[in-house]
Amino acid sequence: MKKLVSLVLALCMALSLCSFASAEAAYNMPAMNTTDPITLSVMTWDDFEMAEALAASFTELYPNITVEIVRTTTANVTADLTNYAAAGTLPDIFFFLDIDPLLASPYLADITEYIENDEEAQTKLYPTLRKIGYIDGKRCYFMAGEFLPATVYLDANVFETLNIEMPGQDWTWEQFVELTQTMTDPSQNIWAYTNGMYAPVTFGPISLTENAIGEFGWNGESYNFESGWAEALELQQENVRLGNTAVAASEEYMALHADQEWPGQTGHVAVLTDAFWTLNNIYTKPLALDRGIKMVPYNPPVGAESGGQLAFLDNVAISSACEYPREAYELMKYLTWGKDGWMKRCELFPTLVWEDTENKAYDVPNCLPMIQDEELNAAFADLMPDLGYWNDWASFMENIKNPVTWGARTIPGFNAFLANYYLGNDFNGVIGIEAAVDQGVADPYDYVEELAEQGKYYYEQAMAAFFEIYGQPDAE
């Protein structure tokens, strides 16, 4: 019996060792060239001070690699890429906004070998971010470059005035719906909700769809308008009709604010959907502070068990003309989501000043980490401001689950679908499906299949252009 037990234990240990060895062998990153002098160029449109400082730090780690920062703007980035390509001088690494202009141009290097053999990428990146860049589902051509949550702000003063308890940071879509429907109080000039930079119809389908990685429930191959889109659109429009949404041009709002001041800084709105940078630009500035506005930041609420959270994400790629793609990958990672680069970034945030000035560049960090790492999250949370009325950044960081960005950033054909059909098609005499639903000539539930079919059509058109340039993936 003892021999049998020993044999079983030995077999278990052997299997465990094999499993461990297999796991270790799964990440087989190619070696870097660590001796030859290399120059790598990086094109970006903002954060130049941080980019330069991180580039210098990277060169300290790899003295043979010189990094040049190429400056562009969001308005010019696509045209600049075209011009650089025509001149044969594409930057080795470049940030971009929309994916469609790149699909029919041979600008993108295949980075599948690197990202799939990078243990940090496969184990620490947020799950949705590991899927970014897989244009055809098999080959990866870009990755997340900068991340900011599409932040929802809840006014602590309004909740206190109405004697309503604020939700926890792990709040749900159902709680969001209830708050937007119940917190309006005309007698106290309080509106439950206002749309900032996005509305429920944008983030609702992401929140309410299992494993969504794009707008309208996109899963990598198709849209899912059946999960959340119609529900969110009806909520959005009903809240306007019932007066729960602060609309700056409405008679009710004009009676209080004839100057049509932005509702989010008046102290009369309970829930605001906006951007992370609004904290730095507005809620930590004298106007809001003097008014006593107490906006608490939340990540977008989650509806489905594995629902996503709308995010502002800028993406980054390696040029197909890059001579040193392995080294470029390491630089790209250091400048964007890698832990080593982010720990350096945390050192730099308090010290950097704007170029040619003595003004501090970052009162509040301008972007957030993209990996699940306790040490990094703690270092980042320490940088965040104590708002006086709230300082639970640890909980805020813990409730970043599955960032999902705007459709045009990652979904082939999204812009064409949006312009030509979703916003541009005639629906019973009204242009645009949302307008048609709002005017009562279309039932959103009647169009969920047609919308998905049209979205698929424009996706396939974009993919045809992509395959023409990049070829079909190898059959497994």
Beta carbons of 219 and 213 less than 8 angstroms apart: yes
- Beta bridge partners, 403, equal 309
Say how far apart CA 176 and CA 319 lie, in whole Å: 42
| Lowest-pLDDT choice from 16-20, 274-278, 327-331 | 16-20
Looking at 79-83, 150-154, 236-240, 285-289, which range is the least confident one? 285-289
What mean pLDDT do residues 73-79 have? 95
Span 110-132, pLDDT tens digits: 999 999 999 999 999 999 999 99
Contact 182, 278 (CB under 8 A): no
Residue-wise pLDDT tens digits, 185-215: 999 999 999 998 999 999 999 999 999 999 9
Q: So what's the pLDDT on residue 7?
A: 40
Q: Is the pLDDT of residue 443 over 50?
A: yes
Check residue 445 and report its DSSP letter. G
Q: Does the pLDDT at position 18 exceed 80?
A: no
Class of the CATH domain delimited by 38-147+312-388+393-398: alpha beta
Assess contact for 43 and 95: CB atoms under 8 A.
yes
More confident residue, 317 or 353: 317
Domain with residues 152-299, CATH architecture: 3-Layer(aba) Sandwich (3.40)
Domain ranges of the chain: 38-147+312-388+393-398, 152-299
pLDDT above 70 coverage of the chain, percent: 94
Instruction: Give the separation between CA 210 and CA 411, rounded to whole angstroms.
Output: 17
Are 212 and 219 in contact, with CB atoms under 8 Å apart?
yes
Stretch 383-402: mean pLDDT: 93
Instruction: Identify the pLDDT of residue 35.
Output: 84
| CA distance to 23, 113, 189, 268, per residue, from 119 (Å) | 10, 12, 53, 48
Beta strands 426-427 and 430-431, pairing class: antiparallel
Gap between the Cα atoms of 462 and 110, Å rounded? 18
Please list, in sequence order, all residues whose beta carbon lies within 8 angstroms of the beta carbon of residue 258, skipping any fewer than 6 positions away.
none
How far is it, in rounded angstroms, from Cα 317 to Cα 101? 14
Helix (H) or strand (E) holding 96: strand 93-96
- The 3-state DSSP class for residue 194 equals strand
- pLDDT for res 363: 82
The pLDDT of residue 23 is 41
Q: Which residues pair with 310 in a beta bridge?
A: 404
Confirm if 115 and 28 have CB atoms less than 8 A apart: no
The rounded mean pLDDT for the chain is 91
Count how many Cα atoms sit within 13 Å of the Cα of residue 261 in the half-sphere of its side chain. 12
In the prediction, which pLDDT does 248 show? Answer: 81
**What's residue 225's pLDDT?**
95
Q: Report DSSP state, residue 165.
A: P
* DSSP letters spanning 257-302: -TT---GGGTT-EEEEE--THHIIIIITSHHHHHTT--EEEEPPPB
Residue 123 CB coordination number (10 Å): 12
* CA dihedral (337, 340, 341, 346) positive or negative: positive
Q: CB of 239 within 8 A of CB of 440?
A: no
Report pLDDT for 340.
97
pLDDT at 21 over 80: no
Distance CA 378, CA 401 (A): 17
Q: How far apart are CA 237 and CA 305, in angstroms?
A: 26
pLDDT band at 476 (very low <50, low <70, confident <90, very high): low
Check residue 245 and report its DSSP letter: B
Distance CA 384, CA 365 (A): 7
What mean pLDDT is predicted for residues 335-347?
97
pLDDT of residue 250: 83
Per-residue pLDDT averaged across 269-287, rounded?
93
Measured in degrees and rounded to the nearest 5, phi and psi for residue 309 equal -130, 120
In whole angstroms, what is the distance from residue 322 CA to residue 33 CA? 14
Task: Note the pLDDT of residue 143.
Answer: 97
Q: CA-CA distance, 142 to 145, in Å (whole number)? A: 9
* Topology match between the domains 38-147+312-388+393-398 and 152-299: yes
Res. 447 pLDDT band, cuts 50 70 90: very high
